[in-house]
Amino acid sequence: MKRAYIIVCLHVVFLPLGIHLSLATADTIEAKKERAKTAAEQITVMRGALAKSFIKPKSEITLATFKAVCGLVADTAKEIAKEEGFKIRHSAVKFRNPMHKATETEAGLLEKFDKNRKLTEFWDSVKLDGKEFLRYSKPIFVEEACLACHGPKKSRPDFIVEKYTEDKAYGFETGDLRGMISVMLPAPE
């Protein structure tokens, strides 16, 4: 009887604490998920704004212009990832940088984004380096300014042709799916 009483008392004392801790963890995960979405949106908007400000119709695209747009976006993504403890990845089926080649799973998700334009985001879980992550993915669509580097194959700037010998990221038109950005955060334990 005494043992049962102690067990009941322990449940009464610790059960609310356990609920509180699990709610705090859930709140933290929800907050991190919201920050992951914000990071993806921030990087996507930044890419578009920089491209529009640096790339004008009929302007010459140089390595400096390329670094001002793509380099700054990459640096910002790295900074956000480090600050938040996220992993951020850009991927595409028609990639320019081989590091951005879509995995089989990513290619399937890109196909979903391309077929269903109402699908503007997607959450799933992935395993990276033996660890579980929650992954937020958002499609990236080609804007007019993007065509300076991603339009017709023959129109690509010389430095891109020379630097990216395996380039597949051309032949796009405004509104085409260019790729996606994925923000991954460690899954709760």
Task: Determine the pLDDT at residue 4.
Answer: 40
Q: How would DSSP label each residue in 121-159?
A: -EEEEEEETTEEEEEEEEEEE--GGGHHHHS-GGGS-HH
pLDDT of the chain, 189 residues: tens digit per residue: 444 433 333 333 333 433 333 333 445 889 999 999 999 999 999 988 888 876 666 677 888 888 888 889 999 999 999 999 999 999 999 999 999 999 999 999 999 999 999 999 999 999 988 999 999 999 999 998 888 889 999 999 999 999 999 999 999 999 999 999 999 999 987
pTM passes above 0.85:
no
Amino acid at 44: T
Report whether 88 contacts 39 (CB < 8 A).
yes
User: Angle at Cα 172 formed by Cα 68 and Cα 141, nearest 5°?
Assistant: 65
